[in-house]
Chain A
Amino acid sequence: MKLELREITKKFGSFAANRDVSLTVEPGEIHCLLGENGAGKSTLMNVLYGLYRPTSGEILVDGEPVEFSGPSDALHRGIGMVHQHFMLVPVFTVAENVALGSETRKGVTLDLETTRRRIREISDQYGFAVDPDAVVEDLPVGVQQRVEIIKALVRDAQLLILDEPTAVLTPKETDELLAIMRQLKADGTSIVFISHKLREVREVSDVITVIRRGEVVGSVSPEASTSELAAMMVGREVSLTVDKQPAQVGEQTLVVEDLTVVGDNGVTLLDNLSLSVSQGEILAVAGVQGNGQVEFVEALLGLRKASGSIRLESQELVGRSVRQVLDAGVGFVPEDRSTDGLVGPFSVAENLVLDLYKDPRFHSGPSLKQKEIRANAEQRIKEFDIRTASAAAHASTLSGGNQQKIVVARELSRPLKLFVASQITRGVDVGSIEFIHDRIVAERDNGVPVIIVSTELDEVYGLADRIAVFFHGRLMGIVGPETPRETLGQMMAGATEEEVRSQGGLAHPGLQPPENSGTDSTDHDGDAVSNLPWEEQA
């Protein structure tokens, strides 16, 4: 299917989210829309999918002008969309979810057999491995996404819009998705791929259209360099590597000993973990998602019951409340900012003091000091370049990158003895990543011990002074940043540092990362090392 957008403009009041955007998607083409958060990519796709009416401009399908008054119109013309946040009923099975909205009936009863058959066909054709009778809420995120794709394919979509599909995926799942996209393309399906992750964009796209502030900046081929793309997207030169001096390591102030976390169902999630972090160094925790990283930071912060010991400047933190841990000088950036880091309906100013309102700067007796809170907001907004209409705007109206800046600004706006950040740049645009990384390094250089949890190996290598690798809730070893990716990859798949070293570093050329859940056995058969998902694909 050939899709053309001609001079699409979408205005909200006087604000133009899209201005004269024109682009053409050829049949069987993967067309990437690249742009920062808030650049207008999603608005454009919502116009295309019939969720918004364009203020002006037209949409042509196979050369014929069309007008969509809703998603069902778009679906009817063969346009399917996979949203960033899935539109699935968690308690329904895959087949029920797929059938929903276009159920086939047998008299008054639901006929799911046809749907089941179609799901199996599609699943076999593309190697989805989706069981039509599995309940959606039990499926890993990557598989739920495939269910969304199946939903579109069952409805004969010839053009798929994927809105930031990799934002929620692990590196392995991302790799699998990219393979699926290539296969769909080979079968003639056109794909509009929305992303701001440069590497995957270059890997899979045929054409890249860069959008900035609602306007098309230009179209480039995927051969363009990463830094070139980043510069187009942000509008200025960006440094993709983290500038930092060698660490000036001071005293060892955080000592974790035999930290163990047992889940509600009796499963050991964190197994006798011991490590220490010194002042002025960044320890990066690497690992495939779901190997105990979340439990580790939650235990650190007192959000989760743990046994063992965590001593910060010889003060015991295990058994303390979150409030006490924060008061002990721990700054924390949670993995999911919108659910754990921010209160959406609160103003930017309020969010900037969300865990600081008990600080004498911001309250006297039972009263909040409004003036101080406002002044603090003005200062942080300036210092961290938070793009917001005003300090009184609701945090939920800001783009992801700017929301993250609020959380980082808040946590770094008091003297810290330990800084812990989880997936600090997930869903954050390139320009903001650079800024946030610089702030973390600055905090390190101030002599604060820093722990960064990340599933992005680029980030781990960029920031870490030492790398701790987690696997199945155990520490596989702590290595330096000079460790090759293959070694790290093997450790992430369950090999200890010694094992890797004693076997010459590449003894397991067929090593694969564990399954998404990280609970399966370490299967050592698989593809060649060059196919490791986290490997540089430059």
Chain B
Amino acid sequence: MTTPTTNSPTVNAAEDLETDGPAWIGSALQPVLAILAALVLGGLLIAATDERVMKAASYFFSRPSDTLSAGWSAASAAYQAMFYGAVFNPNGNSFARQIYPFTETLTVATPLILAGLGVAVAFRAGLFNIGAQGQILMGATLAAYVGFTWSMPLPLHLLLVVLAGAIGGGVWGGVVGLLKARTGAHEVILTIMLNYIAVNLLAYLLTRPSFLREGSTNPISPPVAESAQFPLLLGAPFRLHWGFVLAVAATVFVWWLLNRSTTGFELRAVGSNPRAAKTAGINVTKGFVIVMILAGALAGLAGVAQISGTEGSLSAGVAASFGFDAITVALLGRSTPLGTFLAGVLYGGFRAGAVTMQTMTGTNVDIVLVVQSLIVLFIALPPLFTAARGRRSRRDKSKTTRSAGAVKEAQA
């Protein structure tokens, strides 16, 4: 068959009845299957690269059970270590030590959730925001500057730092929305380019004396003031800070915004059918600007979580790869606020558990990256799932394939 000239959004009522059960089961099923499939494949990979398994495999044909049991124990030990490192460690000598891993997961998840929301909210308005990385960096830069130069009492200073982060990211995102609205430039190109600008701008700033520690030439800023840091949520030794509460609040806010507010109604209409939105009197270009400011501000808050939460100072690596992981998180979360939150926690767990896995079983941390990438791959393979779930609307398919393609592009 050839490509249709008109892509009809009309689906037969009959076709829709083909999928059983409520819609949310269908939409949650795919990410869950993708995670499971990725974990299974990752397990096979762990087994295949394990030394004992390789030894046992050399006499596979005389005693295959050796290889299989060695493989099983290698994979299960690695995943068990990951679980210990990410969720619950039964070997801890106190309750605090036992649940410490999960608080670590939430700590790492905080910037992922915030930046993920930034990508998700843009996606709901039909924009593909690859620029979370740059938005995090700019948010972090402005937040750090306010954090280490100004000196004020705690609640006020922290509030201003949070605001500065949101503004930094919001401006970086808003530029994209403005350029798209004014000139029609494509947001994917704009955000990718602005990522480069942000990275290099930060590198430049970190050579200026005003951003460096006194008497030092290392590209790292002075630590932010105590009053500019998120207080710890559970006290020492836990690193979990109030930034996580901010992430929870942001999730609730985005949910409310998308599903319960007039602005969200407009944004979703613009995202799903810009022509109908325009005919209904919605200002589509204004929608682009608003949503990109919002997306940037959310990513900027992820930068604040880094500065005022875990890092404490500004450096070139302050955003790690959170901006790109955020795209995956939003994709895995189907661009819904709750989905993004859960996906953020999952990826936080992967990051937290990977370290423990390597120290306990010697499995390479990169396995976790492979698992993460496999999840994206499985989500980007809709034909596999459509074959299993029957025919779905053509429009849905093209959307998933398009976004997945762009993710790979961005990560390349």
Instruction: State the A residues within 8 Å of B (CB).
Output: 12-13, 15, 17, 38, 40, 42-43, 71, 83-90, 97, 100-101, 136-137, 144, 301, 303, 321-323, 325-327, 332, 334, 338-346, 350, 354-355, 357-358, 363, 366-368, 370, 389, 394, 396-400, 403
Neighbouring A residues of B386 by C-beta, 8 Å: none
User: Is B185 an interface position by the 8 A CB rule?
Assistant: no
Neighbouring B residues of A334 by C-beta, 8 Å: 279
Complex-state Cα separation, A342 to B11, whole angstroms = 13
A38 touches B13 (CB 8 A): yes
B17 touches A13 (CB 8 A): yes
Stretch at the interface among B158-166, B168-176, B259-267, B345-353: B259-267
Neighbouring A residues of B273 by C-beta, 8 Å: 339, 342-344
Partner of B8, one of A38, A85, A343, A368: A85
User: Is B9 an interface position by the 8 A CB rule?
Assistant: yes
Neighbouring A residues of B262 by C-beta, 8 Å: 357-358, 363, 366-368
User: Is B215 an interface position by the 8 A CB rule?
Assistant: no
B6 touches A85 (CB 8 A): yes
Complex-state Cα separation, A326 to B7, whole angstroms = 28
B272 touches A17 (CB 8 A): no
User: Is B51 an interface position by the 8 A CB rule?
Assistant: no
Neighbouring A residues of B20 by C-beta, 8 Å: 13
Count of A-B residue pairs with CB < 8 Å: 134
Complex-state Cα separation, A8 to B13, whole angstroms = 19
Interface residues of B in 1-50 (CB under 8 A from A): 1-18, 20
B9 touches A344 (CB 8 A): yes
Q: A332-B279, A396-B10 are in contact. Are A345 and B4 (CB under 8 A)?
A: no
A136 touches B5 (CB 8 A): yes
User: Is B276 an interface position by the 8 A CB rule?
Assistant: yes
Instruction: State the B residues within 8 Å of A (CB).
Output: 1-18, 20, 256, 260-263, 265-266, 268-269, 272-273, 275-283, 393, 395
Nearest-neighbour CB distance to chain A for B265, whole angstroms, equals 5
A85 touches B13 (CB 8 A): no
* CB<8 Å pairs between A and B, sample of 14: A12-B14, A43-B12, A71-B1, A86-B6, A321-B281, A325-B281, A327-B281, A339-B275, A343-B277, A344-B9, A344-B395, A367-B256, A368-B260, A397-B13
Partner of B265, one of A325, A350, A399: A350
A sample of 6 more A-B contacts (CB under 8 A), given A341-B276, A343-B273, A344-B272, is: A17-B14, A89-B3, A340-B276, A357-B262, A396-B11, A397-B11
Partner of A340, one of B8, B14, B279: B279
A100 touches B2 (CB 8 A): yes
Partner of B14, one of A43, A101, A357: A43
Neighbouring A residues of B6 by C-beta, 8 Å: 85-86
Nearest-neighbour CB distance to chain A for B18, whole angstroms, equals 5
A341 touches B279 (CB 8 A): yes
Nearest-neighbour CB distance to chain A for B74, whole angstroms, equals 43
A321 touches B283 (CB 8 A): yes
Neighbouring B residues of A100 by C-beta, 8 Å: 2
B13 touches A398 (CB 8 A): yes
B16 touches A397 (CB 8 A): yes
Complex-state Cα separation, A354 to B275, whole angstroms = 12
Complex-state Cα separation, A396 to B3, whole angstroms = 21
A354 touches B269 (CB 8 A): yes
Q: A12-B18, A344-B273 are in contact. Are A396 and B5 (CB under 8 A)?
A: no
Complex-state Cα separation, A303 to B266, whole angstroms = 17
Neighbouring A residues of B9 by C-beta, 8 Å: 338-339, 344, 396
B4 touches A85 (CB 8 A): yes
Least CB separation from B3: chain A residue: A89
Partner of B279, one of A137, A303, A350: A303
Nearest-neighbour CB distance to chain B for A406, whole angstroms, equals 11
A354 touches B5 (CB 8 A): no
Nearest-neighbour CB distance to chain A for B271, whole angstroms, equals 9
Complex-state Cα separation, A341 to B275, whole angstroms = 8
